[in-house]
Amino acid sequence: MILATSSKTSETIRDFSREFDIEIDDKDTFVIDHFNYDIFDEGGKHTLVIIDNNKGNNDDSITNNPAILSKEVIEGSPILFRGIGHKVGSSPLLVKILWGRNTSYSYEVREDQKNIVDQVPFISGNQIGLVTALQARNNARITFVGSLEFFSDRFFDSPVHNVVTSEKFPKSGNEDFAMDLVKWTFQKKGVIKVISRHHNKEGETEQLETYRIKDNITYTIEISEYVNDQWQAFNGTDVQFEAIMLDPYIRKTLTPTSSPDLESRKFITNIQLPDVYGVFTFRVNYKRPGYSYIDDKSVVAIRPFRHNEYPRYISAAYPYYTVTASMIVSFLIFSIVWIFNEDPSSKNKTKKTN
């Protein structure tokens, strides 16, 4: 869902977005930037602000997340924006996509009012969220855009001319940005899914529900990504595997394999299970901003050794074996001698030790 608002937004929309930890600024406020405004700015209020492309420094105010925006947008033309800003909360599910430049602030703009700022703005600088997305835990996506004009043809086709720095671009980046944003929001981009997962003992292929402690096992997970309207192999390299029982016992980065079929890629690791028995969860918890979440769990039990899986003869115990064996033999000999060597005089003795 894309929620585009303007400075005239109603309270209901504010309440609604507040549930997503997004606080839209008051009515009639605009994002103002006296250092980065377009030449077409009307009324001298400097509300038509320019967001530069990503230059890779602290002053950037556009995300460089390739899952959401394509490279052309990130490095392309600046973006024009006129509208209301919002404060982005601390929810970990929120992704800032476009935000205010350090020189900008959000303040009330009225026709009858002079440009006097006599109160501290609610939000200013890079705190101002312009375009922010939230990916819910079930991977539903909602994008908040603080401007309706942002998507207008006028903004799409408009050239950009920064009044202060005199930088000029023939066409704004709005159209490409909007295309990517819509694609991402409606699950055409940045979508990954688990095709299958498999774990087995090394050298075997069968997936078991119970392993033994210290077993060597192989864990495989197959992930594909939706790119350009088709499923392709996922290219991430930071997929991690965890074996958890209350706390992670093993955490290991999975190795991507070269994918024979192009639709998915297998990530493999070989691990030795811990020397602790219990019910373990094999989990791949892959949550990266922009990508849909992967939280794949399979529960296995890790059991202790069976009674016949211990080493049968321990070298350290050989003295004991010898003692036992010699004891048995000598007892047998003693019994035989005792039984067959009875003489009349030993009758009393037998009684005693009977």
Partner 1 sequence: MKVLGLETQNISALLKVVILGLIAAVALASRLFSIIRFESVIHEFDPWFNYRTTRFLVANGFYEFWNWFDERSWYPLGRVVGGTVYPGLMVTSATIYNILHALNFTVDIRNICVLLAPLFSGFTSVAAYLLTSEIKDSSAGLLAAAFIGVAPGYISRSVAGSYDNEGIAIFLLMFTFYLWIKALKEGSAYWGALTALFYFYMVAAWGGYVFIINLIPLHAFTLILMGRFSTRLYVAYSSFYILGTLMSMQIPFVGFQPTRTSEHMAALGIFGLIQIIAFVEFARSYISSNQAQILFKSFVVISFVGMLSGLVLLTLGGYIAPWTGRFYSLWDTGYAKKFIPIIASVSEHQPTAWPSFFFDLEMLIFLFPAGIYLCFKELHDGHVFLILYGITASYFAGVMVRLMLALTPVVCVTSAIAISRLFDIYLKLDPEDSDNNSVKSNKSVIDKPSRKGDSSRSTSSPSTNKSSEKKKKSEHFRILGFDTRILVISNFFIFLTIFIWHCTWVTSNAYSSPSIVLASRQADGSQYIIDDFREAYYWLRKNTDYSSKVMSWWDYGYQIAGMADRTVLVDNNTWNNTHIATVGKAMSSPEDVAYKIMRRHDVDYVLVIFGGLLGYSGDDINKFLWMIRIAEGVYPNEVKEVNFFTPRGEYRVDDEATPTMRNSLMYKMSYHNYNELFGGQGQDRVRGARLPIGKIKLDTVEEAYTTENWIVRIYKVKKLDNIGRSLEQAGEFESGKKRRKRVKRTN
Considering only residues 18, 55, 251, 287, which one is a binding residue for partner 1 as defined by CB under 8 A?
18
Considering only residues 2, 6, 21, 208, which one is a binding residue for partner 1 as defined by CB under 8 A?
21
Please identify, among the stretches 149-157, 229-237, 282-290, 302-310, the one whose residues bind partner 1 according to the rule CB under 8 A.
Answer: 302-310
In total, the chain counts a number of residues equal to: 354
DSSP-derived 3-state class of residue 270? strand
The two structure tokens encoding residue 243? 């074996």
Please identify, among the stretches 21-29, 48-56, 75-83, 148-156, the one whose residues bind partner 1 according to the rule CB under 8 A.
Answer: 21-29
For 100, list phi and psi in degrees, rounded to 5.
-70, 150
Considering only residues 279, 314, 323, 329, which one is a binding residue for partner 1 as defined by CB under 8 A?
279
Site for partner 1 in 121-160 (CB under 8 A): 122, 134, 136-138, 140
HSE-up of residue 164 (Cα within 13 Å, Cβ side): 10
Which residue number, 343 or 352, has a Cβ lying nearer to partner 1?
Answer: 352
Distance of alpha carbon 176 from alpha carbon 174, whole angstroms = 6
User: Counting contacts by CB under 8 A, is residue 350 touching partner 1?
Assistant: no
Q: Where are the alpha helices (DSSP H) in 138-229?
A: 153-157, 174-185
DSSP-derived 3-state class of residue 275? coil
User: Counting contacts by CB under 8 A, is residue 280 touching partner 1?
Assistant: yes
Site for partner 1 in 257-276 (CB under 8 A): none
CA–CA distance from 185 to each of 13, 28, 291 (Å)? Answer: 19, 27, 11
What DSSP character marks residue 345?
A: G
Which residue number, 74 or 300, has a Cβ lying nearer to partner 1?
Answer: 300
What DSSP string describes 290-320?
TSPPEEEEEEEEEE---TTSS-S--GGGHHH
- Give residue for tokens 């290219």: 235
Considering only residues 148, 227, 245, 250, which one is a binding residue for partner 1 as defined by CB under 8 A?
245
Distance of alpha carbon 268 from alpha carbon 242, whole angstroms = 13
Distance of alpha carbon 186 from alpha carbon 268, whole angstroms = 31
User: Counting contacts by CB under 8 A, is residue 307 touching partner 1?
Assistant: yes
At closest approach, how far in Å is the CB of 79 from partner 1?
27
User: Counting contacts by CB under 8 A, is residue 10 touching partner 1?
Assistant: no
Which residue number, 8 or 352, has a Cβ lying nearer to partner 1?
Answer: 352
User: Counting contacts by CB under 8 A, is residue 246 touching partner 1?
Assistant: yes
User: Counting contacts by CB under 8 A, is residue 215 touching partner 1?
Assistant: no
The contact pattern for partner 1, residues 166-205, with x = CB under 8 A and - = no contact, is ----------------------------------------
Site for partner 1 in 60-99 (CB under 8 A): 91-94
